[in-house]
Amino acid sequence: MFKSHTTDSPPIRPTRILVVQTAFLGDVILTIPLLKALHRANPDARLDFLTIPSSRNLVETLPYIHRLWIYDKHGRERGIRSLWRLVSRLQKEHFDLALVPHRSLRSALMVAAARIPMRVGFHNSAGKWLFTHRVRYRRGIHEIDRNLELLQPVLVDRAKRIFPEIFFTETDHQVVNAWLAQQQISFDQNWITMAPGSVWATKRWPPEYYAEVARKLAAENVGTILIGGEGDARLAQWIVQRAGDRVKNAVGKFTLRQSALIIQKSRLLLTNDSAPLHMGVAVNTPVISIFGPTVTEFGFYPCGPLDEVIEIPELKCRPCGIHGGQKCPLGTHECMKRILPDRVFQRVMEKLTQILH
């Protein structure tokens, strides 16, 4: 643990806590265990969460959040004036502790300017000097465990591993069940979910590979449901046209929570290294994830007991970036193209056999 020279006083027992995570959706999901641990250790404290608009649907039902703050930093709240208006609102809440797993300068500046007396973040944050307590960002461990290490300065006891979770509403169940009935899908039979999209082009396993796996699964009487956001609609339609009527297209039709509920009802999730991976972990559905430009050493792999990653570990060009990218730097995309459909199909069938027995 790294402390700034201004923090020699003993740790406080917080009564008003703010957690800030305004990175990507997957990062938000992996912050849920931190929220859960804070609530367990401080059940009487007020716990607020500040995050991005796209994550609202997944976290608004968490029972341990007192208030959800939505910061549209890339939209209507873009710019310094909106940031200072948000800071002014935060000041009025008189938080005594802020935990900031997001390593951006803006997030660190926000909690410092809001005059929150105890501010905990990682030692490699772009705004690390603005924290009163700095915790080493350890590489080689899962992001969930890294985030939980932010609790060190607060002397909070915690479990070794806490998983994210998603809380569904009655409406979520009604909407999903109605669609499943319309599609004549019964989960007494074998159905898996596929999430073929990603905001990063190099993280997408080729759509023709997904289609081939879906066709092979159909021949084994295993159906497939495609999930994803509206931006994945054309990709999903392309796969459906080539994979046959045992593939059902749920892309763009549901909220994030409802998509997670479909994952929960499925036998297995096949996905790229993207947010649905973490949704699968949160709903305790076995995950097979395909990693190309990224590697498990970054700490964002599926961590459930039956989860696994399929990759080409011997490629020397991996990893090519923390997030992947829109183009392969070498122009080959070997890290994905060399993961052939037969290999993935075989692992899916073996995993289904393991799950059912």
Q: How far apart are CA 218 and CA 86, in angstroms?
A: 51
| Three-state DSSP class for residue 148 | helix
Q: Rounded to an integer, what distance in angstroms lies between the CA atom of residue 82 and that of residue 88?
A: 10
- The region that residue 262 occupies, defined by phi over 0 for left and psi between -120 and 50 for alpha, beta otherwise, is alpha
The reported pLDDT for the residue numbered 12 is 60
Q: Is the pTM of this model over 0.75?
A: yes
Sign of CA dihedral 53, 59, 63, 65: negative
Provide the residue type at 254 as one letter: F
Cα first-last separation, the chain: 45
What pLDDT, on the 0 to 100 scale, is given for residue 73? 85
Fold of 2-154: Rossmann fold (3.40.50)
Q: How far apart are CA 243 and CA 37, in angstroms?
A: 43
| Homologous superfamily of 171-356 | Glycogen Phosphorylase B; (3.40.50.2000)
Q: What is the pLDDT of residue 7?
A: 40
Burial class (CB in 10 A: 0-12, 13-18, 19+), 33: buried
DSSP string, 160-177: S---------HHHHHHHH
pLDDT of residue 13: 77
Query: Which neighbouring-strand residues pair with 135?
Result: 122
For residue 91, CA distances in Å to 16, 149, 242 come to 12, 26, 55
Neighbours of 25 (CB within 10 A): 20
Q: How far apart are CA 42 and CA 274, in angstroms?
A: 32
Rounded to the nearest angstrom, the gap between the alpha carbon of residue 349 and the centroid of all alpha carbons in its chain is: 26
Over its C-alpha atoms, the chain yields an Rg (Å, rounded) of 21
Q: Provide the residue-wise pLDDT of the chain in tens; the chain has 357 residues.
A: 333 433 444 456 789 999 999 999 999 999 999 999 999 988 999 999 999 999 999 999 999 999 999 998 887 888 888 899 999 999 999 999 999 999 999 999 999 999 999 999 999 999 999 999 999 999 989 999 999 999 988 876 655 779 999 999 999 999 999 999 999 988 777 999 999 999 999 999 999 999 999 999 999 999 999 999 999 999 999 999 999 888 999 999 999 999 999 999 999 999 999 999 999 999 999 999 999 999 999 999 999 999 999 999 999 999 998 888 899 999 999 999 999 999 999 999 999 999 987
Q: From residue 234, give the alpha-carbon distance in Å to each of 228, 238, 317.
A: 11, 6, 30
Domain with CATH 3.40.50.2000 in the chain: 2-154, 171-356
Query: Burial code of 279-318, b = ≥16 C-beta within 10 A, e = fewer?
Result: bbbbbebbbbbbbbbbbbebbbbbbeeebebbbeeebeeb
Report which of 209, 218, 223, 205 is spatially closest to residue 262, judged by C-alpha positions: 223
Helix axes 105-113, 80-91, angle to 10 degrees: 40
